[in-house]
Structure 1
Amino acid sequence: MSRFLLHRTGQAVIVVFVVTVIVFVLLHSLPGGPARAILGIDATPEQMADFNTRQGFDQPLPVQYLHYLSRLLQGDLGESYALNMSVADLIQQRLPKTLLLTAVSTAAAVVVAVPLGVWQAVNRNKPGDYIVTALTFLAYSTPAFFLALIAIIVFSQVLPWFPSQAPQADTLTGILAEPAALVLPVLTGAVTAVAAFSRYMRSSTLDNLAEDYVRTARAKGTRERAVIGKHVGRNSLTPVITMLGYHIPVLFGGALISESIFNYPGMGLAFWNAAQVSDYPVLLGVVLVIATATVLGSLLADLLQALIDPRVRAGRA
């Protein structure tokens, strides 16, 4: 197990390193550069040259990256050009809010998707199963921004049940104090997750329904509800549990969009605002956090699979 863990951790570190290189090069290759974005269109060439010199942008990209990596290893993510604050402080303020949004969205999705997937499997190839399957495919294929816009139009304008803007408090306590304003952002994040998790749960439940232990339980006279709830449902949760790790980056990606649309003060909105002014340190910091979350999510999923199934551990060690 320790060898497997070290192997996957080493891969995770390499992936994060490669992501930082690619994103750093792409951001610094954009036309105009940060000097034009920060100083404005009226800045003179002398002012832009002075800005690039002070920020080190006049040096070759490899040298700039090495300086950035050196600071990164010391926990220094740089300073935001537009907000006049450190990127680390910005992420410290915004990350808990994004984690709250993604955690609530995931919990809501699992609560709905697990029984829905089991119900579909039990009623497979019936009209209800076909209807739910069509709806889940539709939800899964719909972009997050479009779902958010539909939610605003339906539940904030046509049916004025919930605010169209997310809570604007600076603390988690303040955000939780406005549950009605959280409904639409959570709904947007949960719909796609429900579509994905319910499909996995349906497939896993169908596989377990064909197992010998189900036939044995039925032959012993066990009630069908007990067979499904106590045996099949519990054993079918394994792929959904491991899928949670792989779905973490998807939730973060969806949060970037929904936060911008609902003006939710998380990392997604910070990334959007930074992109408008080419605030490179903030963009790099947010991308680094998302990349780390992606890698950690994949690592968590692999570890859960290894703990549940020793064959995975033996095959990948």
Structure 2
Amino acid sequence: MLRFLVRRLGQGIGVLLGLTIVTFLFLHMLPGGPARALLGAKATPETVAALNRSLGLDRPLPVQYLQWLGRLLHGDLGESYQQGQSVGSLLAQRLPPTLLLVGTAVVLSLLIAIPLGVYQATHRNRLGDYLGTLGGLLGYSMPVFWFGLLLIMVFSLNLDWFPAGGIVSPRQSMGDVTARVQHLVLPVAMLSVAYVATWSRYVRASMLDVLGQDFVRMAEAKGAKRSRVLYAHALPNALISTVTLVGTSLPFVLSGSLVAEVVFNYQGMGLLFWNAAQVKDFPVLMGTVVLLGFATVAGSILADVVNAVLDPRIRRRSLA
């Protein structure tokens, strides 16, 4: 198990390193650059060149990257060009609201998707299965930003049940519980619909595959109760692939949170990244990419470890 974990950690570090290189190059290939964004379109070339020298942006890209990587290894993500604040402190403020939003949406989606997928698998080709399939098709084919705007129009503007905007201050999300819940309802609903639609279909397919295997038929032939066959034998094996799906879906989960935060003005990591992209605030963009990339790699490794614990065959194949 230790060799398996070390191998996965090594792969994760390689992925993170490649991610930082690609992102760094792409950001610095954008026209205009941060100096032009800071000084405005009317700035003279001399002024832009002077600011580039002061920020160290006139050096070769490999030198800039190595300097940035060296600071990163010491925990220094730089300082925001626009806000004049360290990137680390900005991320520390915005990370808890995003974790709250994403974590709530993922947990709620799994609590709905797993029973729904099991129900559809055990009622295959019946009315409930057809309705679940139709709902899933609508859920993952509908643009999430459009669904968010629809939620605002119905539940905020027309019914006045929930606030149309998100948390005004990042710290407010960690304050009053009632206000936190009210501001979370619509963004969580927006994210959960797409996740439930995708994950429930996957659980359904996994359950159908497991229910057709010999060990399930043997348990039924021995007279085991239907509920025991489903929840003690079939479901644990079906969830192995579901754990992998959730882990590998983390990039899409985080990108969905960006859309939700922009639509609802929710002061989290996604909105921070969006605002930084508008003004070419490179340190904030790089810091956000690194943090989200780390979260994605960590989620993938955690899913692999959980699968290896649940099914030793996966661990043996990976070390072969």
The answer to whether the aligner puts 1:173 opposite 2:165 as a matched pair is: no
Q: What pairs up with 1:1-317 in 2 under 5 angstroms?
A: 1-169=1-169, 170-174=171-175, 176-178=177-179, 179-219=181-221, 221-317=223-319
Shift of 1:220: 5.0
Between the aligned partners of 1:16 and 1:235, the Cα distance in structure 2 is 31
Between the aligned partners of 2:259 and 2:97, the Cα distance in structure 1 is 14
Shift of 1:213: 4.4
SS, match of residue 249 in structure 2: helix
Shift of 1:55: 0.4
Instruction: Check the 8 A contact 1:155/1:162 in 2, yes or no.
Output: yes
Between the aligned partners of 2:281 and 2:308, the Cα distance in structure 1 is 41
Shift of 1:299: 1.2
Shift of 1:212: 3.9
Instruction: Check the 8 A contact 1:106/1:193 in 2, yes or no.
Output: yes
Shift of 1:60: 1.2
**1:90-124 deviation line (CA, Å, top 9, x unaligned):** 00111111111110000100111011001101111
Between stretches 269-278 and 188-197, larger displacement belongs to 188-197
Instruction: Check the 8 A contact 1:249/1:297 in 2, yes or no.
Output: no
Shift of 1:303: 1.3
Instruction: Check the 8 A contact 1:36/1:48 in 2, yes or no.
Output: yes
Shift of 1:278: 0.7
Instruction: Check the 8 A contact 2:244/2:300 in 1, yes or no.
Output: no
> 1:177 corresponds to which letter in structure 2?
T
**1:220-269 deviation line (CA, Å, top 9, x unaligned):** 55543444344433443222233322222221111111101101110001
Instruction: Check the 8 A contact 2:94/2:268 in 1, yes or no.
Output: yes
TM-score by length of 2: 0.93
Shift of 1:309: 1.5
Over the matched positions of the two proteins, sequence identity in percent amounts to 48
TM-score by length of 1: 0.94
Between the aligned partners of 1:304 and 1:208, the Cα distance in structure 2 is 19
What stretches of structure 2 of length at least 5 have no aligned partner?
A: none
Between the aligned partners of 2:5 and 2:219, the Cα distance in structure 1 is 38
Instruction: Check the 8 A contact 2:167/2:173 in 1, yes or no.
Output: no
Instruction: Check the 8 A contact 2:97/2:173 in 1, yes or no.
Output: yes
Between the aligned partners of 2:97 and 2:239, the Cα distance in structure 1 is 28
Shift of 1:175: 6.1
Instruction: Check the 8 A contact 2:97/2:174 in 1, yes or no.
Output: no
Q: 1:247 to 1:151 in 2, by over 3 A?
A: same
**1:106-154 deviation line (CA, Å, top 9, x unaligned):** 0100111011001101111123212211221221233322222222223
> 1:196 corresponds to which letter in structure 2?
T
> 1:262 corresponds to which letter in structure 2?
F
**1:49-106 deviation line (CA, Å, top 9, x unaligned):** 1110000111111111111111111111110011110001100111111111110000
> 2:65 corresponds to which letter in structure 1?
Y
SS, match of residue 79 in structure 1: coil
What stretches of structure 1 of length at least 5 have no aligned partner?
A: none
Shift of 1:289: 1.1
**1:32-62 deviation line (CA, Å, top 9, x unaligned):** 1111101112322222111100001111111
Between the aligned partners of 1:8 and 1:181, the Cα distance in structure 2 is 38
Between the aligned partners of 1:316 and 1:229, the Cα distance in structure 2 is 28
> 2:309 corresponds to which letter in structure 1?
L
Instruction: Check the 8 A contact 1:155/1:161 in 2, yes or no.
Output: yes
Q: 1:193 to 1:32 in 2, by over 3 A?
A: same
